[in-house]
């Protein structure tokens, strides 16, 4: 008669005799699955009672599917902007699911009260993405912090939904300045300090791009007669600010043609000649792409095409007099709307 094989957990480790069998995860396995630090799970257990439901003294912590499901409810509520205490109350008081969802919709989150100010609890335990992994965003509001949590968790669906909600509530420019930019800056700062997080920046940039494109395409036909051209200088591969600006103009009924990144000078000149736009806006992130001579030599049209530039790459002291630098996307939206006659 063959021996009964020993029971093992999800990591392949042999379970001690008498310990409940089934899908039981160790702290480290749950931490990897959720993208948090093991210390975060221990803190949630100690502070909020969100530990293994059948943990007994003298045995290893092992999480059942329903335990993991409660943790995921808490994590998703944190991403949505709840404080840790509120998220824990939701996770503890909600029904115990039969299985742990993997990034499924959190239908219970509608009952979470949205705080009007950032949580004052310690940053390391609040995000639900790992102790010490929280982004540095001093002064950032609730929406930015929620977006940062979703981005660090690489939760693309929630990231897009938070951006869409923000655009609906406060508009494109405020979403960019108050919600998206603080997170992008914090991710860039984290990468410069640690060399980590480029995947977070890429995912968040794609989410911003998709949300802004939807705004631009879903708005009504433009009220302006002459379009605005938006492009990045030759050699400049940053185009995200242009997408934000295109969405802003679409909100206001200004037709804009987005020519994208690394736009050759000959192509820009041909587009201006062919469309006689009301204005052209050119972005430069780095001094290497800020070619003042190129913008000074752009074709002149009748009626006149006004030329504006934006981005940190420009040296405004060497720009031709007819080229106007704009200091922010908010200013650019206002100026280009006026240039279009609206």
pLDDT in tens, 175-223: 999 999 999 999 999 888 888 889 999 999 999 999 999 998 886 667 6
Q: What percent of the chain has pLDDT over 90?
A: 42
For the chain, how far is it from start to end, CA to CA, in angstroms?
87
Mean pLDDT of the region 19-41: 73
Mean pLDDT of the region 109-123: 36
The pLDDT value recorded for residue 127 is 38
The pLDDT value recorded for residue 112 is 38
The pLDDT value recorded for residue 54 is 65
Task: Give all strands (DSSP E) within 285-328, no chain letters.
Answer: 306-310, 323-326
- Tens digits of residue pLDDT in 36-48: 778 888 888 888 8
Q: For residue 107, is pLDDT > 80?
A: no
CA distance 188 to 190: 5
Q: Are β-strands 256-260 and 228-232 bridged in parallel, bridged antiparallel, or unpaired?
A: parallel
Query: What 8-state DSSP symbol labels residue 219?
Result: S
Burial class (CB in 10 A: 0-12, 13-18, 19+), 178: middle
Please tell me whether residue 56 adopts helix, strand or coil conformation.
coil
Of residues 101 and 241, more confidence is placed in 241
The pLDDT value recorded for residue 60 is 66
Q: Helices in the chain by DSSP H: which ranges?
A: 27-34, 38-48, 65-79, 84-93, 142-152, 156-170, 172-174, 181-194, 198-218, 240-251, 265-275, 292-296, 329-339
CA distance 269 to 279: 13
Instruction: Tell me the domains of the chain and their CATH numbers.
Output: 1-100 (1.10.1660.10), 140-218 (1.10.1240.10), 222-339 (3.40.50.280)
Of residues 80 and 74, more confidence is placed in 74
Average pLDDT along the chain: 79
Q: For residue 116, is pLDDT > 80?
A: no
Lowest mean pLDDT among 44-53, 121-130, 170-179: 121-130
């Amino acid at each position: 008669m063959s021996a009964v094989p020993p029971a093992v957990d999800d990591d392949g480790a042999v379970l001690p005799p008498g310990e409940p069998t089934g899908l039981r995860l160790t702290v480290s396995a749950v931490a990897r699955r959720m993208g948090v630090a093991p210390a975060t799970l221990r803190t949630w257990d100690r502070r909020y009672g969100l530990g293994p439901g059948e943990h007994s003294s003298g045995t290893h912590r092992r999480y059942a599917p329903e335990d993991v499901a409660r943790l995921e409810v808490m994590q998703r509520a944190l991403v949505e902007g709840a404080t840790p205490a509120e998220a824990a109350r939701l996770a503890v008081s909600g029904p115990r699911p039969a299985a742990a969802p993997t990034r499924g919709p959190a239908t219970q989150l509608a009952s979470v009260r949205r705080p009007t100010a950032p949580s004052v609890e310690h940053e390391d335990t609040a995000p639900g993405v790992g102790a010490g992994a929280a982004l540095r965003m001093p002064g950032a509001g609730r929406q930015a912090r929620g977006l940062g949590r979703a981005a660090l968790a690489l939760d693309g669906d929630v990231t897009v939904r938070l951006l869409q909600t923000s655009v609906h509530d406060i508009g494109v420019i405020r979403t960019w300045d108050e919600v998206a930019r603080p997170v992008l800056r914090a991710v860039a700062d984290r990468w410069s300090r640690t060399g980590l997080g480029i995947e977070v920046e890429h995912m968040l940039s794609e989410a911003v791009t998709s949300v802004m494109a939807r705004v631009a395409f879903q708005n009504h036909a433009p009220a302006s007669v002459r379009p605005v051209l938006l492009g990045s200088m030759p050699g400049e591969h940053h185009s995200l600010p242009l997408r934000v600006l295109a969405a802003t103009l679409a909100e206001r009924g200004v037709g804009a043609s987005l020519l994208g990144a690394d736009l050759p000078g000959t192509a820009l000149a041909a587009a201006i000649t062919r469309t006689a736009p009301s204005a052209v806006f050119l972005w430069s992130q780095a001094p290497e792409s800020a070619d003042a001579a190129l913008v000074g030599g752009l074709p002149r049209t009748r009626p006149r095409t006004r030329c504006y530039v934006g981005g940190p790459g420009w040296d405004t002291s060497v720009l031709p007099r007819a080229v106007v630098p704009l200091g922010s996307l908010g200013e650019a939206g206002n100026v280009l709307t006026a240039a279009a006659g609206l």
